[in-house]
Each structure stands twice: as C-alpha cells, then as structure tokens.
Amino acid sequence: MRDAMSDQLRLQNDYSHQENFKKPVPFQPYDYEIGNIWSRYYTAINQWLMIKEIDAKQLNCYQSFIDTHLALAYYQLSSRWGGVLFIMQRIDPTISLPRTDEAEVLSRIENMLFGAMRDLDEHRYDAFQDANSMLFVSKDVAKTLLAFVYCNQKKFDKALPLLEEVIRRGNYHLEYTEAAEYQNNAECILGYYPEISSTPKIFPCLDYKDVVLTAAECLYHTGNTPKAKEYIKQVCEHKNLTVDQSDVLKAIASLHYQISSPSYMNFIRRNELGESFMGLSHDNLYQLLWPIPSSELNCNPQMTQNPGY
C-alpha cells in the first residue's frame, strides 16, 4: 500500500493542472507506472484477504481492522480508475472477472466502513513504523474515510457530521508548517513512512488539512457558506496561503492544489472543475480518470477500458 500510495501521489502531483502536463495525454494504458500502481494495490488487497481468511478461521477478532484497510485500498482504486475489480476473497489470478461500476464499489466500501466503525476504538492513529501498529486503525481513520466516500457519492449531508466530529474531538489540529509538507504530526490521521528515510516526512493518506477543506466543501453544498469560508481562512492562516473566496469551490480547489492534497483529484472530479480550474478541454475531461492498464486488459478479457483511452 505504501508504494502504491507514494507512486499515485507523485503522478497526481505531476499532473494536477494543465500547465504541468508534459504531453497532451499524460497517461496511456501501456505506461509502466500506471500498471505498477494498479498491481501494487491488488497485491495489497490479496495480502489483506489472506490475513482476513486466516483470522476468520482462528481468532476472528481482526475483521474490522482488515476491512478498513481493504476499504482504503478500494477507495484509492476507485478514485483513480472509477469502476474496478472488486473481490473479497482470494481467487485464481487466471480467472477473468468484470469490473464493478464505481457507484457499486463506493456503496460496498460504505457498508464495510459502517460495519467496521462499530468495533474500532477512539484513539490517535497516525503514521506507523511497524506491522503491528499498522493493523490497529482507529475509528477516526474509518470515520474520515467514510466521509470521503460519502463526498464521492455526493452525499455531503452525510459526510459533514463525520468530519465535524473528527474536528470537534480535537485529536488533530492544523500546524504552522510549509503548505505541501507532510510529517507525522498533529495533522496526520494516516500516513506511510518511506522505506528508507532519516527525515520526518511521510506519504500522506488521510490528513487533517483534507478533513478541514472537505468539511468546507460539505458546508458549501449544504448551504452554510460563511462557516465554509471560516475553514478556508484557517487553512490559509496556518499554511501562509491566499485564495480568492469569491468562488468558494475554486478557493477550496486552489488550497487542495497548493498543499498537494491527496484528495485533490477527487475534489476536482466530483465538483466538475476539470475545465474551469484544471484547464482541461471538454474533450479531455476523460483524463480525470486513469486508463486501465494494458496488463489487466490482456489477462482479463471481461475488463473494459475507461472512455477516451
């Protein structure tokens, strides 16, 4: 998961605005990195499914933790590819399966997280350094992830109470740090350390800045623009940034962009800002999703390519 997330964030940050594009079509189905990220997510999923199967036969006490990690992997996959292969038991890799459409993927993730939250504890969970601490996710992780899923479903009224609860509990807070700097600090809800690193930097996955900005988005969509602007102001103050708040959604988009947010592309896609903010032409909006890797299409005849590729 760490390697998949780090590569995904790097590619996303390289192509977060039209002016960054080195070529008209940033990604192709045959690109090695696209296939590698896809493969790494499914490798992680299969590993979690193996652990889930073993636990179910023995202690059967880790299912909610494992389901949260699986939900995270599928959320990341659906964020970049839309409809994906959704499997919840290990299968022979030679078996061909159709993709599950994005709405159904998100619905299944929602159900997994809703069930998992009943068994998870309220405690601080941030970047981890060993396998043991990695497993035991907190309720904040599931709660934040569920809120992000609701936003991708455009259920902003359901997402807002979850985000406000994370904010209100006070386990995390904004830091006065560089805008695009991610460390294992009070902003980190879930992150991954680089494999070899002597710095405190991490690969962000779930971040408190995203929680505040996503709460602002939900407030805007539910009719509370003044409070949305308060949250925007908080992020600007702590990160020494300025934005034009005459258009609230574009102000939030600008902050996601400036802080290199892991949620940036999700925000752009669900708020239909590919043209007006990212600078994509109408004909190139398909690029908001990545192409299904050729490697998957070649070994799975039932898989279909995303439109435009």
Range list of H helices, 17-87: 32-57, 63-81
Helix (H) or strand (E) holding 128: strand 127-128
- The whole-number pLDDT of residue 202 equals 81
What domains are defined for the chain? 2-18+28-288 (1.25.40.390)
34-60 residue pLDDT tens:
999 999 999 999 999 999 999 999 999
Q: Do residues 215 and 170 touch, judged by C-beta distance below 8 A?
A: no
Q: Which of 82, 7, 66 is nearest to 39 (CA)?
A: 7
- When mean pLDDT is compared across 15-29, 86-100, 252-266, the lowest value belongs to 15-29
Question: For helices 208-221 and 225-239, what crossing angle results, to 10°?
Answer: 160
133-165 residue pLDDT tens:
788 999 999 999 999 999 999 999 999 999 999
pLDDT (average), residues 64-72: 97
246-263 residue pLDDT tens:
999 999 999 999 999 999
270-284 residue pLDDT tens:
999 999 999 999 999
Confidence of residue 127 (pLDDT cuts 50, 70, 90): low
Burial of residue 244, with CB atoms counted within 10 A of its CB: 0-12 exposed, 13-18 middle, 19 or more buried: exposed
What is the SS3 assignment for 205?
A: strand
Residue 194 has pLDDT above 90, yes or no: no
Name the pTM for this structure: 0.95
Burial of residue 4, with CB atoms counted within 10 A of its CB: 0-12 exposed, 13-18 middle, 19 or more buried: buried
Q: Do residues 253 and 273 touch, judged by C-beta distance below 8 A?
A: yes
**How many beta carbons lie within 10 A of that of residue 274, not counting itself?**
20
Could you give the CA distance from residue 300 to residue 60 in angstroms, rounded to a whole number?
33
Place of tokens 């990160």: 239
Could you give the CA distance from residue 108 to residue 92 in angstroms, rounded to a whole number?
22
